[in-house]
Chains A and B, each alone.
Chain A
């Protein structure tokens, strides 16, 4: 069955066609033998083209499903962003009176009432949220109460520092986790495996900020090898990146190890070994590729954790990123700035998750067809 085009009678060759009606799509059937999409009406008529035709080429079918999947994920991401905007908006209404939250503690009741009127806090909540959303989509989160500068501009100014730290931490995590995970899985029950398991557990149990303090004590205070704080050259990045990346390294290492152990038991790996392939080829060419797929998803999710963890790491190391900006804004009760920063970070996380899904779909064709 060539499956070239819907109008081609020869498409209905000798292959056994199993038809399965889908409740919502009576005209769409699936051929399980040759993976050919065939319109039932076509089949009943025997030939000819018809409306609502799905391409019979498996590649085109995969492309259809992929597009549908991506649109669905995009719609889902947009819904999540709307939800994020709602959370960011409602956080400052948690106490009931955002005006009291945004003004200094010694503001008089008249000042609070005037401020409430000016900011529209007397309007119904849904109208306030609508105005907030319209302004947020234009990038207007108001002025920072302390700095009297546009909040979004301040966040954007600090974003490169946070992204630099986050990406460095991710790189540290992968550089440590992948070799250690592979070595640990390929030498199970060895000393290396036991040490890696212990390190993995320790890495997941250690508080980030305590680790940062200990690294500063050892490498900055005692040994004086590396600077303790601030942003500058590569040496300034080392300690914060290690601090932030440790938890992710431990998580990825443990995941990769357990994934590889499962894959190394599979039949195709046994086949590769029985063919006489070198163990390195078996692991790196056959096993690791499959083990890295779930790791990719976790790495995408870890990006969000790293952005959140950056708040603490940046505070410990006085790294001038968005995390430290949020911390200072919270201490200064500068909530327009907090809103802008939290919203932007959440937006980045949703985008990264979406891109991770796309990449995963590209790498694992089973996702497209599921």
Chain B
């Protein structure tokens, strides 16, 4: 096999892989992080939620499904009628709200991470194909994306969940499949510009197969954008899952989830405000943290994504 240098006919540094640019961005990003208090806060909150999810059995004072009807609808410990044993109070079945919030973080993070993984994988794959090959492949994939964009996200997910039924696996698949479009479009746009770069031409010239070129040369250069979108999308996926569960079409009621807790609390809003408030706050801070980190990543690594 001829050396690439002779095939290209020039100094190889001119076709140097732009992955080195990404390395510089990551280093700069890490330095900037210490100056960006909002992003730091986001990281700290996310780390806290992750730790809570992993250490739930150690942190939760009670079994999240343990019912105690004698203790139902207890207010928080600091409110009149509250007890120190139930810091955030109990729900209509006497279940400890703090314990359910702790265990609920597991589902939220699990759904957030897995749906993003499914959507990111599917969207990136289709975006790579669409951008690299162009032609009818691009047309078909982008028309499918257009059709999907014609449906409001929640509506499409609702309609499909109504048919396939609630459940953790179903919701991950449905949210993952309905969330691919963002990745597909961004990756496609990036690949369209990357495919005519010299190093891609060089890789083709030395006889590499398309799959190898896409995997080794194109994909690493769009990875940054994928990571940014994934971080920004995680918060939305957590909200979507909780919304579907709130409507009764998400996770099974036997599994403690923040959306399910909000749904339960809806019927007790008049006098028992805590049943809905604390799970909502947990959701809010988790999604806020995800958005803070996502914003920082985007501004540092790929400001063009703002557009």
A positions within 8 Å CB-CB of B: 76, 79-81, 83-84, 86-88, 91-92, 94-95, 101, 201-202, 204-210, 213-214, 216-217, 221, 258, 294, 304-305, 307-309, 311-312, 315-316, 326-327, 330-331, 333, 335, 338, 342, 345-346, 349-350, 353
User: By DSSP majority rule, is chain A's interface helix, strand, loop, or mixed?
Assistant: helix
Q: Are A326 and B155 in contact (CB under 8 A)?
A: yes
Query: Among the listed B143, B144, B242, B306, which residue makes an inter-chain contact with A258, where contact means beta carbons less than 8 Å apart?
Result: B306
Cβ–Cβ contact A204 & B291, under 8 A: yes
Do the beta carbons of B143 and A213 come within 8 Å of each other? no
Report yes or no: B155 in contact with A345, Cβ–Cβ below 8 A. Answer: yes
Per a CB cutoff under 8 Å, which of A81, A92, A308 touches B155?
A308
17 residue pairs from A and B, CB less than 8 Å apart: A80-B146, A91-B160, A92-B163, A201-B292, A207-B284, A210-B276, A213-B266, A213-B269, A214-B280, A221-B269, A304-B150, A312-B243, A315-B247, A330-B159, A330-B162, A342-B159, A345-B155
Known: A84-B150, A208-B243, A309-B152. 10 other contacts (CB 8 A): A91-B159, A213-B276, A217-B273, A309-B154, A330-B162, A331-B248, A333-B162, A342-B155, A346-B151, A353-B150
- B262: Cβ under 8 A from any A Cβ: yes
- Whether B265 and A213, one on each chain, are in contact in the complex, defined by CB atoms closer than 8 angstroms, is yes
Instruction: A76 to B143: give the CA distance in the assembly, Å.
Output: 9
CB of A217 within 8 A of CB of B269, answer: yes
How many whole Å from A173's CB to the nearest CB in chain B? 16
Q: Which of A210, A304, A327 is in CB contact (< 8 Å) with B280?
A: A210
Which residues of the other chain, A, contact B248 by a CB distance below 8 angstroms?
A: 331
Give bound CA distance, A80 to B163, whole Å: 23
A24 to B176, CA, bound (A): 41
Q: Does B269 lie within 8 Å of A338, measured CB to CB?
A: no
Whether A80 touches B147, Cβ cut-off 8 Å, given contacts A201-B292, A345-B152, is yes
The reply to whether the CB of B68 lies closer than 8 angstroms to some CB of chain A is no
Give complex CA distance A350, B147 in Å. Answer: 9
Give A206 to B287 CA distance when docked, in angstroms.
8
Closest chain B residue to A351, Cβ basis = B150
Find chain A residues with CB under 8 A from B295 CB.
Answer: 201
Asked if B172 is at the interface of the complex by the 8 Å CB criterion, the answer is no
Given A308-B154, A342-B151, the answer on whether A95 and B277 have CB atoms closer than 8 Å is no
Most buried by B among A83, A209, A304, A305: A209
Cβ contacts under 8 Å, B288 to chain A? 201-202, 205
Contacts of B265 in A (CB 8 A): 213
Q: How far is the CB of B198 from chain A (nearest CB, A)?
A: 25
Q: Which residues on B are within 8 Å of A, measured CB to CB? A: 143-144, 146-156, 158-160, 162-164, 235, 239, 242-243, 246-249, 262, 265-266, 269-270, 273, 276-277, 280, 283-284, 287-288, 290-292, 295, 306-307
Nearest chain A CB to B297 CB, angstrom units: 15
Q: Return the contact of A76 from the options B146, B151, B158, B287 (Cβ within 8 A).
A: B146
B291 cross-chain contacts in A, Cβ below 8 A: 201, 204-205
**Contacting pair A216 B152 (CB below 8 A):** no
User: B152–A304 contact, CB under 8 A?
Assistant: yes
Residues of chain A contacted by B249 (CB below 8 angstroms) = 330
Q: Determine whether the beta carbon of A207 is less than 8 Å from that of B146.
A: no
Q: Which residues of A contact B162 (CB under 8 A)?
A: 330, 333, 335, 338
Bound-state CA distance A109–B149 (Å) is: 38
Q: Which 3 A-B pairs have the closest CB atoms?
A: A308-B152, A83-B147, A210-B280
Q: Are B154 and A311 in contact (CB under 8 A)?
A: yes
Question: Most B CB atoms within 10 A — which of A210, A258, A316?
Answer: A210
User: B161 — nearest CB in chain A belongs to which residue?
Assistant: A330
Least Cβ distance of A82 to chain B in Å?
8
CB-based nearest A residue for B263: A209
Chain A residue nearest to B266 (CB atoms) is: A213
Which of A76, A214, A258, A330 makes the CB contact (< 8 A) with B277? A214
B160: A residues at CB distance < 8 A? 91, 94
List of A residues within 8 angstroms of B235 by Cβ: 205
**Bound-state Cα–Cα, A207 to B199, Å:** 45
Min distance, Cβ B277 to any Cβ of chain A, angstroms: 7
Most buried by B among A91, A305, A335: A91
Question: A45 → chain B, closest Cβ, in Å?
Answer: 38
Chain B proximity of A335: nearest CB distance (Å): 8
Min CB distance, A12 to chain B, in Å?
A: 37
Interface centre among B243, B248, B270, B277 (most CB of A within 10 A): B243
* Contact indicator B152/A305 (Cβ below 8 Å): yes
**How many angstroms between the C-alpha atoms of A209 and B273 in the bound complex?**
15
Taking a contact as CB atoms under 8 Å apart, the answer to whether A311 and B158 are in contact is: yes
In Å, the complex CA distance between A137 and B205 comes to 52
User: Which of A88, A216, A315, A350 is in CB contact (< 8 Å) with B269?
Assistant: A216
A339 to chain B: closest residue by CB: B159
Residues of A near B243 (CB, < 8 A) are 207-209, 312
Residues in B with CB closer than 8 Å to A333 are: 162
CB distance from A11 to the nearest CB of B (A): 38
Cβ of A88: which chain B residues have Cβ within 8 Å of it? 159
In angstroms, Cα B294 to Cα A201, docked, is 11
Q: Which residues of A contact B277 (CB under 8 A)?
A: 214, 217
Q: How far is the CA of A312 from the CA of B244 in the complex (A)?
A: 9
Alpha-carbon distance A309/B153, docked complex (angstroms): 9
Q: Is B152 touching A207 in the complex (CB atoms < 8 A)? A: no
Residues of A with C-beta under 8 A to B163: 91-92, 94-95, 101, 335
Chain A residue numbers with a CB within 8 Å of B307 are 294
Instruction: Considering the complex, give the chain B residue whose CB is closest to the CB of A348.
Output: B150
Inter-chain contact B164/A94, CB cutoff 8 Å:
yes
